Structure 1
Amino acid sequence: MLLRREYKYLVPNKYLDDIRNEMLPFVETDRFASACENNQYTVRSIYYDSPNLDFYHEKIEGLKIRKKLRIRGYNKFMDDCVVFLEIKRKRENFIDKHRSKIYYKNLDDIFYTGDLDSYIIQSDADSIKNAQRFFFHVNKKLLKPISLVVYEREAYFSRFDTNIRITFDKNLRYYSLPLFADLYEDNILKPAIKNHFVFEMKFYQGFPEHFSKIINKFQLIRLAVSKYSICIDADKELRPTSNKKFLALGNPVWKDKISRKEAI
């Protein structure tokens, strides 16, 4: 299987318009983004981690092979909106994903019953298998919802190779120890990083010289940027208290705001 490469850059906001203008002759707006206001959409992810924040520490320590588990939704709440159970694996600069669909309204039920056949939307042959992978890791490591990570995304693809995808992720914000009910709540969010955006390029074989020239022109330095890790670092209360106090909580969801508060 051919794995996708992912390059990331943390860029000052003051360069956003200039970089976008340099890119526009070579890209088309993503179809999903073009259907949204201002040609951007909102990405909402509830990230899971272990009682000791293993996934966070694997990133900080620079492990070459690591993974993240998250529940991902988009834009605003609507009746019958769909979210995704995702595992994102990273092998150095290469990434792959396993994801399955579920109606947002059924999240509590699937976590409490484990009934994948009843709640997973079987849109392809791997839907159930991917959900099984997700819950295997959740249950094995006693994973908990640690951080709701939200941002606006501009998404483009190359005019000359649709496998090359460019995104600008802006206005990164977070909420720690979220409930499922918090996924679409904007009034609880806190800024994670105010003066920068994350510029990402995803591709398989390589990308053309004109993209390299733009990167060099703005002296962008490729970094191992993790929006989840940035949000953990932004919460001064979460990191010092989480390592010991999550251990007693075995269920992979917060039952309510009281149980969540007791964890901190």
Structure 2
Amino acid sequence: MGNLQNSYRYERKYKLNVSEYEILVHDMLSEGMKVHHPTRFINNIYFDSLNFDAYFENVEGESERNKYRLRWYGDRFNTIRPIFEVKMKKDQVNKKLSLKIPEIEFRSFNDVENVSNHILNYMEGEESTLFFEMMNKIPTLLNGYKRDYFLSKDGETRLTIDRNLFFYNCRNNQEYNQSEIMVVEVKYASNVTPKINFDKFKLVLGKNSKYVSGIDYTKLK
């Protein structure tokens, strides 16, 4: 069985111009935040129905919805050791189911279908519930970005900064690089009041789904 996050948490997302990166990091460190993990590259493949149900549920603001993705770290094209994740959103909070997938070669975008079949074959034997959920889903978007990790002084709140955003549409092979925008995420348990100086950091709450943005950036006009 996959690893299920026991409790819901808030995941607040904010969009800033990348020109504000140095100032933001300086302000966070001056407020007592610390680096929580070395900077690393993150890659994801998102899965959706043929009708893009997950995309439209997000756009329309459905209060309960799931997001399905495969995640790995480091080089995009490599022998990858991915983790399959189901992000479960309920109103304003989220929790996550994670499942480690056996390693597989991912050498080019042409390997997306092979990776998808690899996941299904593994789930069929190990995670039958997820297997049936994934049977009607296809890979729709690959994205990648560089992530910095920070932790609040009290250790209760995580903040990440994502830059150098890349998107590849698995359906039409369109690519898009977004180097002007960075996405900041603030994550904390549902019973925690974050001790974050939102005003000083210029964080204004908004909808900033990388999946929705990626589909919008790469859809054919």
Q: Could you say which TM-score interval applies, normalised by the shorter chain?
A: 0.7 to 0.9
CA displacement 1:146-193 (0-9 Å, x = unmatched): 0001111001112322x3111001111111117xxx9xxxxx9531x3
- Per the alignment, residue 207 of structure 1 pairs with 194
* Paired AA for residue 84 in structure 2: L
Residues 157, 166 of structure 1: 8 Å contact kept: yes
- Which residue does the alignment assign to 1:45? 44
Which of residues 209, 213, 218 is equivalent to 1:230? 213
Query: What amino acid maps onto 1:176 in structure 2?
Result: N
The answer for the alignment partner of 1:249 in structure 2 is: none
Task: Tell me how far 1:195 sits from its aligned partner.
Answer: 1.6
Within the alignment, does 1:195 sit opposite 2:180 as a pair?
A: yes
Structure 2 residue 157 is the aligned partner of structure 1 residue 164: yes
More helix as a share of residues = 1
* Cα distance between partner residues in 1 of 2:68 and 2:123: 19
Q: What secondary structure does 1:20 align onto?
A: helix
Instruction: Give the alignment of 1:69-218 within 5 angstroms.
Output: 69-76=68-75, 77=77, 79=79, 81-105=80-104, 107=115, 110-111=118-119, 113-114=121-122, 116-117=124-125, 128=126, 131-139=127-135, 142-161=136-155, 163-177=156-170, 189-191=175-177, 193-204=178-189, 205-208=192-195, 211-212=196-197, 215-218=198-201
Q: What percent of counterpart residues are identical?
A: 26
Which of the residues 29, 36, 43 maps onto 1:24? 29
**Is residue 87–residue 134 contact of structure 1 (8 Å, CA) maintained in 2?**
no
Structure 1 gaps, min length 5:
34-39, 118-127, 183-187, 241-264
Pairwise CA RMSD of aligned residues?
2.4
Unmatched segments (≥5 aa) in structure 2: 1-5, 106-114
CA distance in 2, matches of 1:101, 1:206: 32
> Post-superposition shift, 1:236?
3.0
* Gap change, CA 1:112 and 1:55, over 3 Å in 2: closer
Q: Aligned equivalents of 1:101 and 1:235: distance in 2?
A: 29
Q: Does 1:8 align with 2:13?
A: yes
Change (3 A) 1:46 1:108: closer
Cα offsets for 1:214-250 (capped at 9, x unmatched): x21354310121001100000131xx7xxxxxxxxxx
Please report how far the alpha carbon of residue 133 of structure 1 lies from its aligned counterpart in structure 2 after TM superposition. 3.9
Structure that is richer in strand per residue:
2
Measured after TM superposition, the shift of residue 3 of structure 1 is 1.2
Q: Distance in 1 between matches of 2:165 and 2:85?
A: 20
Q: TM-score normalised to the size of structure 2?
A: 0.82
Q: CA offset at residue 103 of structure 1?
A: 2.3
How many residue pairs match? The answer is 202
